[in-house]
Structure 1
């Protein structure tokens, strides 16, 4: 259960990061609300997962999932360039997250 919550929290991290960008400095209400909800869900889930999964592992997986999804979103939306090197590095990040799960 803790692993599922941690994965969902990592997804929520990307939600709040994207919403923060879309909020334009908290001047747009809907992205600001999405940011606040995503942040609360992400932090709450991370806190729950850290009760059962070591802090270093939890944090690394949480950040890795959020960073990978946010970077892919940036490329898919056209806000970031797509390059082979970027895709390979994000793939490496995902592989490291999977590796941390496998050894814990």
Structure 2
């Protein structure tokens, strides 16, 4: 079993709080995917998802990217960093006005 370690910096504290929020969104999106897998289309709307599964998963991915890009990863190439920044920007545009 692992023990909780206190964050070393304020930035790490913020990233950990963001990780909790991302995990909550990912869990909610995954739960709706599992509901759809078991039950099919949503009863009320007739659409695949009753809850905003796709948007919640995108929100979780956006937050994970914010954490990843805020961390000091030494072996990341400029091309990889640029691709991650582009993905983050696309997710931010998609999510504007959703929450």
TM-score, normalised relative to structure 1: 0.43
Q: Which has the higher helix share?
A: 1
Select the structure of larger CA radius of gyration. Answer: 2
TM-score, normalised relative to structure 2: 0.45
